[in-house]
Amino acid sequence: MTREGLTELPPPAGNAICCDCGRPTYAPVPVRHIERGSGPGHTVYACPRCAPDVAPGPLPGEVSP
């Protein structure tokens, strides 16, 4: 868990799509952050049901540049 994970605002309810089952989730669990070469990266979310089965990746602040 990172400080950003505790302090950043969660996505609006219903706007997060589970990366495993593809359904909208009202309780998104961040599982990894994908950096981009140009522009900000984005966080990938899973629903609480799928989160234990998704291989976690680095979240913001967990990988040094």
Residue 21 token pair = 């089952």
CA–CA separation, 27 vs 35, rounded Å?
23
For residue 5, what is the DSSP state? H
Return the C-alpha torsion angle 45, 51, 53, 57, nearest 10: 50
Whole-prediction pTM value? 0.67
Q: What is the DSSP letter of 60?
A: T
pLDDT at residue number 5: 61
Which residues in the chain come in under a pLDDT of 50? none
Q: Which residues pair with 2 in a beta bridge?
A: none
